[in-house]
Amino acid sequence: MRRKNIKIALLDSGVNIYHPNLKEHNIQNIIWEEHLNKYINDIEDSNGHGTSIAGIIYNHNKNIDLLSIKILNQDLKCNMEDLLRALDWLCEKDIDIINLSLGTTSDKIKEQFQDICKKLIKKNILIVSAYHNKEGTISYPAHFKEVYGIKKMEMPDKSKYIYESTETNTIYAHGSRQNLCYKNSYYYNRGNSYAAAHFTGILSNILLEGKIQNNLKERLLKSSWNKSQQKTWEDERKNFDWMKKILYYPLSKELISMLEDRAIYSNIGGFYCPNSNYEDVYYLKKDGILKTVKLYSDFSKGLKDVDTFFIGDIPNATLDEELAIKRKLIKEALNYNKNVFCKSKFDYYKNKELYDLAKEKDKILYVKYL
């Protein structure tokens, strides 16, 4: 029998329940109050990380009741006593999955940690934990065989994963650079934390079909993305030689974080920024190194020395407004004989005339939701 909602506990930095992507969902934020010796309601995300994780999980499944337990501070560090207390407290709660985008490399609490995980598993509570981001580092609880230990890998889409080992429950999920919720806005980042959130979302959809604890491993193995398929897809995605030099739009925090995360300095031709002066510049920063990038208020001048126009999501615009802006700029870029990369869903049938124009101009109109 299909279930109504899946109950997930998120142990992280808290969640901004007023974020545009989350405000319609059932989220409870709590934090341990030492003075009162109990959990109390809390409304803030100390870092933004918990909001990112919640956004990923809800992007997989809307039918979730989320219990956010704030244990990470603004530096994403926590007291191990707070973590163990929270896990022990959850043993007596009606929870289906616990998402832990955290862990420790210390052996000091390993045994106590594992005992609590075993106790949770006996209660039919699944545990998803991110491995340490440093490759090859053993961290707990991800390394416990009772726990789904998650590592990042670039996947064709968010629903794909690779069940690498049934002995250690090691799983690879989508943790490469991606668009994330962040406090009141959005940004780009990568890491095992985000891969763990994706797998939690995948698990929640499986559980939503009904209680299948006895054959869950079999189901996960059956749906696992094949490594040979992964290699084929990775080979295919390398074919972006047509993007030699790019004009980006808009100049937004979201797009800036994507570029600084990838450090694509060699192919940035500038930003189209309608409200800037022609001589204005912007400084991208990566690992302390600054890159001066021109801002163009004149679209035609910005396109002059590039081969590709990249158009991202447009802040503070309704869906209809955004679509109208994208159609106008894409058409203009194609008429200037430029390739176009559109970072969004851009329906083929509703915009067929633009795809036809690209074909007529012998240019590429590439659409991908990043």
The CATH code of the domain that includes 280 is 3.40.50.720
Q: Is residue 240 part of a domain?
A: no
The pTM is what?
0.73
Number of domain units in the chain: 2
Provide the pLDDT for residue 176.
85
* Partners of 68 in beta bridges: 10, 29
Q: Which of 8-17, 36-45, 257-266 has the highest mean pLDDT?
A: 8-17
Q: Which domain holds residue 137?
A: 6-235
Residue 276 shares a structural domain with residue 226: no
Residue 212 shares a structural domain with residue 291: no
Enter the tokens of residue 290. 């600054």
Provide the pLDDT for residue 346.
74
Q: Is residue 218 part of a domain?
A: yes
Residue 316 shares a structural domain with residue 214: no
Residue at a domain's end among 206, 235, 264: 235
Kindly indicate the confidence band of residue 277, based on its pLDDT and cuts at 50, 70 and 90. low
Nearest-angstrom CA–CA distance, 299 and 296: 7
Contacts 24+ apart (CB under 8 A), 28-34: 28/65, 28/66, 28/67, 28/68, 29/68, 29/70, 30/67, 30/68, 30/69, 30/70, 31/69, 31/70, 31/71, 32/71, 32/82, 32/85, 32/86
Residue 176 shares a structural domain with residue 319: no
Provide the pLDDT for residue 222.
87
Residue at a domain's end among 216, 235, 254: 235
In the three-class reduction of DSSP (H, G, I as helix; E, B as strand; rest coil), residue 110 is classed as helix
Provide the pLDDT for residue 168.
84
Average pLDDT over residues 131-156: 90
Residue 187 shares a structural domain with residue 295: no
Average pLDDT over residues 26-50: 91
Please name the helix (run of DSSP H) or strand (run of DSSP E) that holds residue 320, with its range, or none. helix 319-335
Average pLDDT over residues 99-103: 91
Contacts 24+ apart (CB under 8 A), 254-257: 254/179, 254/185, 254/186, 254/187, 254/188, 254/312, 254/313, 254/315, 255/312, 255/313, 256/282, 256/284, 257/187, 257/188, 257/189
Residue 198 shares a structural domain with residue 264: no
* C-alpha to C-alpha distances, 196 to 53, 127, 131, 173, 327, nearest whole angstrom: 9, 10, 9, 7, 36
Do 121 and 79 touch, CB atoms closer than 8 A? no
Provide the pLDDT for residue 253.
79
Residue 213 shares a structural domain with residue 285: no
Spatial CB neighbours of 175, under 8 Å, sequence gap ≥ 6: 150, 151, 152, 153, 154, 190, 191, 192, 193, 194, 195, 196, 198
Given a cut of 60, is residue 238 above it in pLDDT? no
Please name the helix (run of DSSP H) or strand (run of DSSP E) that holds residue 93, with its range, or none. none
Residue 178 shares a structural domain with residue 278: no
Residue 13 shares a structural domain with residue 46: yes
Residue 192 shares a structural domain with residue 272: no
Provide the pLDDT for residue 185.
85
Residue 102 shares a structural domain with residue 195: yes
Residue 131 shares a structural domain with residue 161: yes
Kindly indicate the confidence band of residue 187, based on its pLDDT and cuts at 50, 70 and 90. confident
Given a cut of 60, is residue 233 above it in pLDDT? no
Nearest-angstrom CA–CA distance, 18 and 25: 10
Least trusted range by pLDDT, from 47-51, 276-280, 315-319, 338-342: 276-280
